[in-house]
Amino acid sequence: MYKILLVFLLFFISTISYSQHSSDINQRKGNLFFSAGVDYRITPIYKGFSNIDLPVSVDLQNSGLGFNFNFDYFLSKNLSLGLGNTLRYDMVSSNFDEITDIAGFTKVNNDLIFDIHVYLDYHLIKFKKGELFIRFGKSLRNNGAQYAFRDPVFDQNGNYFASLQGISVTPYHSTWNFALGYKNKRVSLMLGVLTTSFSGYFSPDKAFIVPYFSITYNLGKL
């Protein structure tokens, strides 16, 4: 799956010579730009243990590499409205209940998961080379991480009665997105956090923070 995403990324980069681009901040108002790059999500920060009924590792599902694609429309020379998407091939569930011995192993079920980001970027300071900007937005994370489940139902005597079956959407959640970035011509570097108190991993819910680092390349003006 990563090979497929890399092909797409290389395809977009190959179109650079055909795209229009302006690094002049006075000319970007009213223009829409397209960029692509990579995100790296650092190990999430939280206290306590996740819901034991979740067949997933919280740390593994919320860390690692992803590929991002972004559209940024400049409302002014300093303020832009963005829509982004991060794609990753990541853990959906792990069959922990299949390990019946004292020690053992089982396969992990991976699939394509994507995050959607809506954000505002404000360029604060212009240096001789590059600009400093801040990001504030909202993200919908772990789309595509749903899994089927079945729970047993027992009567008042503790005897098995039936099974309830349904779809869990627990890994899907929204977060606030805060970041500080540096942009030099086409390249942007950014360090940020995705934070929420309602991740669905914990009962009751508690603060859940995912630090991340990203690098993107402006492919041109649409």
Span 194-204, pLDDT tens digits: 999 888 787 77
| Residue with the larger pLDDT of the pair 173 and 9 | 173
pLDDT value for 108: 63
Mode of pairing for the β-strands spanning 187-196 and 173-184:
antiparallel
| Residue with the larger pLDDT of the pair 37 and 162 | 37
Going by the DSSP 8-state scheme, the letter that residue 75 receives in this structure is: S
Asked whether the beta carbons of 203 and 51 are under 8 A apart, the reply is yes
Report which secondary-structure segment, H or E, holds 11.
helix 2-14
pLDDT value for 6: 55
pLDDT value for 26: 73
Torsion of CA 121, 126, 129, 130, to 10 degrees: 0
pTM above 0.85, yes or no: no
The percent of residues above 70 in pLDDT, for the chain, comes to 66
pLDDT averaged over every residue in the chain:
79
Phi, psi of 5 (to 5 degrees): -65, -35
Residue 147 has pLDDT above 60, yes or no: yes
What integer is the mean pLDDT of 173-179? Answer: 94
Cβ-proximal residues to 67 (8 Å cutoff; 6+ apart), any chain: 5, 6, 8, 9, 36, 37, 38, 39, 86, 87, 88
